[in-house]
Amino acid sequence: MPSCSAWSATKRFCGQVRDSLLGALRGDAVDDEVSEQNCSNVMTRATTGAPSTVEGGTSVGRSQVITVVKGNSGKRYKILEVIGKGGFGMVHRGTLDIEEPLESGFPRVEQFAIKAEQESSIHLEIEVLTATRGKIHFCQLLDSGFDDYCNVHYIVMNLLGPNLVQARNCICRRSFSLSTAIRIGIQTLHAIEELHSVGFLSRDVKPSNFALGRFSSEQRCRVFMLDFGIARRYVDDGGDPLPQRDSGGWRGTSRYCSLRVHQKLDQSRRDDLESWFYMMVELLGGRLLWVYLRRTQKAEIAEMKARARDVHRKAFLERCPKEFDVILEAIDRWGFSSDPDYDGIYLVLTRVMQRQKIDFHDPYDWELESDAALRFDREHRAPLAAKDGGAPPSQSHVEQ
């Protein structure tokens, strides 16, 4: 990217999003995935200020500028290349500005993921990551801050590997084996259960919101849950479930959201599980019947989701183990205030594992293919292919 930093790219990106949101508020075309909550946050954000934490920029490599930001902890971080982007912000790779030397004399190179957003929804991410501290399927929140110059809030987390879409694309045949998909299913279900156990709904369960640990780490087979920009507390301070609201508005992603979201109904834990089910159908190699529809065709998508329950049920579940029929039936039976039977779903998934002779300790697909990590690095994380942190930053393509 010529003579501008990845951080400035975030600023521009956030600016574009804000412009289109403000346009939407003025009555221009509205992006269907934008939540009402985020619209109002943008308006608030634009009128508030915060002390500057920008520490300056350093030129590195070919016309590449690294921006350094100072977190609330006092630590300073170099913002390197973009490793992910979503509707409201960007995720960058980052390192400490000044590496602390180890006793051996070699610098300790730590890498981070730095998520920046112009929205104050980052505060919700902070709330969720604080609540999930110590849970095994969640990133550690290491630091946070506000960059006055670029007008972005950011959080610093541990750096993970590919999200599930990218991981699937690293595999030669570009689809997971049954063994890998079922165990990802168990892990993602556990992640959702952990999130629910601390009183939050995700409302955006989808493959790109789960990532693996880094291929080079011991956590390469652990699935982590990401992105809590539209999460919501579903319990009050005493831990009792909040009553159902008359209308839930639109939150989520058309492809994976539950039927109830299409009906503008308030979401509850069962809706996260319905999204999980759609995600699983895809991860098991099936094709969601509405995959060819544009995300703006909400009514058509809703109709296809309804048909997947009756006339097209067989085609919908074609690639899934036969036990998945029971899971869908159960999720559809649960109402707004039902306590989801997570254990029942684990039991069914475990039955599939027994029937297919799948062991929890079997290698995952990306472990079986020695060049899967290389393919991921080449396509998404070019700098990480070199020795940790030693490579110059560069712009990398990231698939959504």
The Cα–Cα gap between 159 and 310 comes to 42
Whole-Å CA distances, 345 to 151, 305, 330, 340: 44, 21, 9, 9
- 7 near 150, Cβ under 8 Å? yes
Q: Is 202 an interacting residue with respect to ligand ATP (CB under 6 A)?
A: no
Q: Is 205 an interacting residue with respect to ligand ATP (CB under 6 A)?
A: no
The Cα–Cα gap between 292 and 279 comes to 15
Q: Is 208 an interacting residue with respect to ligand ATP (CB under 6 A)?
A: yes
The interface region with ligand ATP, picked from 158-166, 169-177, 231-239, 290-298 by CB under 6 A, is: 158-166
Three state DSSP letters for 309-330: CCCCHHHHCCCCCCCHHHHHHH
Please say which residue, 87 or 321, places its beta carbon nearer to ligand ATP: 87
Footprint (CB under 6 A) of ligand ATP, residues 121-150: 139
Is 115 part of any known ligand binding site?
Answer: yes
**What backbone torsions phi and psi does residue 336 show, to the nearest 5 degrees?**
-55, -45
DSSP 202-222: -S---GGGEEEPPTTSTTTT-
Q: Is 83 an interacting residue with respect to ligand ATP (CB under 6 A)?
A: yes
Please say which residue, 15 or 344, places its beta carbon nearer to ligand ATP: 15
Q: How far is CA 274 from the centre of its chain?
A: 17
Q: Is 226 an interacting residue with respect to ligand ATP (CB under 6 A)?
A: yes
User: According to CB under 6 A, which one of 84, 340, 383, 389 is a site residue for ligand ATP?
Assistant: 84
Footprint (CB under 6 A) of ligand ATP, residues 326-365: none
Q: Is 321 an interacting residue with respect to ligand ATP (CB under 6 A)?
A: no
Q: Is 86 an interacting residue with respect to ligand ATP (CB under 6 A)?
A: yes
DSSP 8-state code for residue 303: H
Is 204 in the active site? yes
Q: Total binding residues for ligand ATP by CB under 6 A?
A: 21
The Cα–Cα gap between 34 and 31 comes to 6
Instruction: List residues bridging with 232 in a β-sheet.
Output: 201
Q: How far is CA 151 from the centre of its chain?
A: 23
- 81 near 386, Cβ under 8 Å? no
The Cα–Cα gap between 78 and 91 comes to 13
User: According to CB under 6 A, which one of 14, 124, 159, 265 is a site residue for ligand ATP?
Assistant: 159
The Cα–Cα gap between 343 and 234 comes to 20
Residues 6 or more apart whose Cβ sits within 8 Å of residue 131? 198, 199, 200
The interface region with ligand ATP, picked from 42-50, 85-93, 168-176, 325-333 by CB under 6 A, is: 85-93
Q: Is 227 an interacting residue with respect to ligand ATP (CB under 6 A)?
A: yes
- Binding flags for ligand ATP, 173-192, as an x/- string (CB under 6 A): --------------------
Please say which residue, 327 or 384, places its beta carbon nearer to ligand ATP: 384
**Could you say which of 147, 204, 227, 271 is catalytic?**
204
User: According to CB under 6 A, which one of 91, 141, 273, 372 is a site residue for ligand ATP?
Assistant: 91
Query: Which stretches of the chain bind ligand ATP, using CB under 6 A?
Result: 83-84, 86-89, 91, 113, 115, 139, 157, 159-160, 163, 204, 208-209, 211, 226-227, 229
The catalytic residues are 204
Q: Binding site residues for ATP, as ranges?
A: 115
